Amino acid sequence: MASRSKSDLANAHVGLGCSVSLASWKETFVECSVFTGLSIVPDVLHEKSPDKVAFLQFDLNVAQAEMGALEVLFDKIVPGGFIVFDDFGHILGKKQNIAERAWMGSRDYGVLDLSTCQGLVIKR
Protein backbone atom coordinates (compact mmCIF):
# COMPACT_ATOMS: atom_id res chain seq x y z
CA MET A 1 0.00 0.00 0.00
CA ALA A 2 1.38 3.41 -0.94
CA SER A 3 2.14 5.90 1.80
CA ARG A 4 -0.54 8.54 2.33
CA SER A 5 0.19 12.25 2.59
CA LYS A 6 -1.06 14.43 5.43
CA SER A 7 -3.44 16.01 2.93
CA ASP A 8 -4.86 12.59 2.07
CA LEU A 9 -5.21 11.76 5.75
CA ALA A 10 -6.88 15.09 6.49
CA ASN A 11 -9.63 14.36 4.00
CA ALA A 12 -9.93 10.62 4.57
CA HIS A 13 -13.10 8.94 5.69
CA VAL A 14 -12.91 8.20 9.37
CA GLY A 15 -14.89 5.65 11.31
CA LEU A 16 -17.66 3.68 9.69
CA GLY A 17 -19.76 5.83 7.36
CA CYS A 18 -18.47 9.12 8.76
CA SER A 19 -16.72 11.54 6.44
CA VAL A 20 -15.11 14.57 8.06
CA SER A 21 -12.35 16.73 6.66
CA LEU A 22 -9.77 18.23 9.01
CA ALA A 23 -10.78 21.70 7.79
CA SER A 24 -14.45 21.20 8.71
CA TRP A 25 -13.50 19.69 12.07
CA LYS A 26 -11.32 22.74 12.85
CA GLU A 27 -14.18 25.04 11.87
CA THR A 28 -16.56 23.23 14.20
CA PHE A 29 -14.25 23.65 17.19
CA VAL A 30 -12.79 27.08 16.40
CA GLU A 31 -14.18 28.59 19.62
CA CYS A 32 -12.92 25.75 21.82
CA SER A 33 -9.55 25.13 23.37
CA VAL A 34 -8.90 22.09 21.20
CA PHE A 35 -5.73 21.02 19.43
CA THR A 36 -6.36 20.14 15.82
CA GLY A 37 -3.74 18.64 13.60
CA LEU A 38 -2.33 15.47 12.18
CA SER A 39 0.16 13.95 14.54
CA ILE A 40 1.30 10.66 16.00
CA VAL A 41 -0.14 9.59 19.36
CA PRO A 42 1.41 9.62 21.91
CA ASP A 43 4.27 11.79 20.58
CA VAL A 44 2.13 14.89 20.14
CA LEU A 45 0.84 14.64 23.71
CA HIS A 46 4.28 15.47 25.09
CA GLU A 47 4.02 18.78 23.21
CA LYS A 48 0.29 19.48 23.30
CA SER A 49 -1.65 18.42 26.35
CA PRO A 50 -3.19 20.30 29.26
CA ASP A 51 -1.67 20.26 32.74
CA LYS A 52 -4.92 18.95 34.24
CA VAL A 53 -7.58 16.68 32.76
CA ALA A 54 -11.05 16.07 34.22
CA PHE A 55 -12.49 13.91 31.41
CA LEU A 56 -10.51 11.70 29.06
CA GLN A 57 -12.10 9.51 26.42
CA PHE A 58 -10.13 7.05 24.33
CA ASP A 59 -11.48 6.14 20.90
CA LEU A 60 -8.33 5.54 18.89
CA ASN A 61 -9.05 1.90 18.02
CA VAL A 62 -5.34 1.08 18.24
CA ALA A 63 -4.10 -0.47 21.49
CA GLN A 64 -0.54 0.83 21.16
CA ALA A 65 -1.67 4.44 20.64
CA GLU A 66 -4.22 4.28 23.46
CA MET A 67 -1.66 2.84 25.89
CA GLY A 68 0.92 5.46 24.90
CA ALA A 69 -1.63 8.22 25.44
CA LEU A 70 -2.61 6.75 28.79
CA GLU A 71 1.05 6.73 29.88
CA VAL A 72 1.36 10.44 29.07
CA LEU A 73 -2.00 11.61 30.40
CA PHE A 74 -2.85 9.45 33.43
CA ASP A 75 -0.91 11.54 35.96
CA LYS A 76 -2.62 14.69 34.63
CA ILE A 77 -6.09 13.39 35.46
CA VAL A 78 -7.42 15.10 38.56
CA PRO A 79 -8.89 13.12 41.49
CA GLY A 80 -12.51 12.38 40.60
CA GLY A 81 -11.70 12.69 36.88
CA PHE A 82 -13.18 10.21 34.42
CA ILE A 83 -11.46 7.98 31.90
CA VAL A 84 -13.74 6.39 29.30
CA PHE A 85 -12.46 3.63 27.04
CA ASP A 86 -14.64 3.37 23.93
CA ASP A 87 -15.37 -0.07 22.43
CA PHE A 88 -14.01 -1.61 25.65
CA GLY A 89 -16.61 -4.38 25.76
CA HIS A 90 -16.85 -4.85 22.00
CA ILE A 91 -15.09 -7.76 20.30
CA LEU A 92 -13.28 -5.27 18.05
CA GLY A 93 -11.81 -3.61 21.14
CA LYS A 94 -10.42 -6.81 22.66
CA LYS A 95 -6.73 -5.81 22.29
CA GLN A 96 -7.36 -2.46 23.94
CA ASN A 97 -9.44 -4.14 26.68
CA ILE A 98 -6.66 -6.57 27.57
CA ALA A 99 -3.95 -3.89 27.56
CA GLU A 100 -6.02 -1.31 29.46
CA ARG A 101 -7.17 -3.79 32.13
CA ALA A 102 -3.57 -4.89 32.73
CA TRP A 103 -2.26 -1.30 32.84
CA MET A 104 -5.00 -0.09 35.20
CA GLY A 105 -4.71 -3.23 37.34
CA SER A 106 -0.98 -2.64 37.81
CA ARG A 107 -1.96 0.70 39.40
CA ASP A 108 -4.65 -0.88 41.57
CA TYR A 109 -7.55 0.39 39.48
CA GLY A 110 -10.39 -1.62 38.03
CA VAL A 111 -12.35 -0.78 34.89
CA LEU A 112 -16.13 -0.77 35.11
CA ASP A 113 -17.80 -2.36 32.09
CA LEU A 114 -20.70 -0.17 30.97
CA SER A 115 -23.75 -1.37 29.03
CA THR A 116 -22.62 0.91 26.18
CA CYS A 117 -19.56 -1.33 25.57
CA GLN A 118 -17.39 1.36 27.16
CA GLY A 119 -15.10 1.04 30.16
CA LEU A 120 -15.05 3.61 32.97
CA VAL A 121 -12.36 4.52 35.49
CA ILE A 122 -12.68 7.23 38.12
CA LYS A 123 -9.31 8.56 39.25
CA ARG A 124 -8.57 8.55 42.99
pLDDT tens digits, one per residue of 6-38: 444 444 444 444 566 778 877 877 777 666 666
AA identity, residue 107 = R
pLDDT > 70? residue 82:
yes
Task: Tell me the C-alpha distance between 78 and 64, whole Å.
Answer: 24
Q: Which domain holds residue 107?
A: 39-122
Split at pLDDT 50, 70, 90, the class of 89 is very high
Same domain membership, residue 74 and residue 46: yes
Same domain membership, residue 85 and residue 106: yes
The beta-strand segments (E) located in the chain are 13-14, 18-19, 53-58, 77-85, 112-113, 119-122
Number of H helices, E strands in the chain: 5, 6
Please state the domain count of the chain: 2
pLDDT > 90? residue 80:
yes
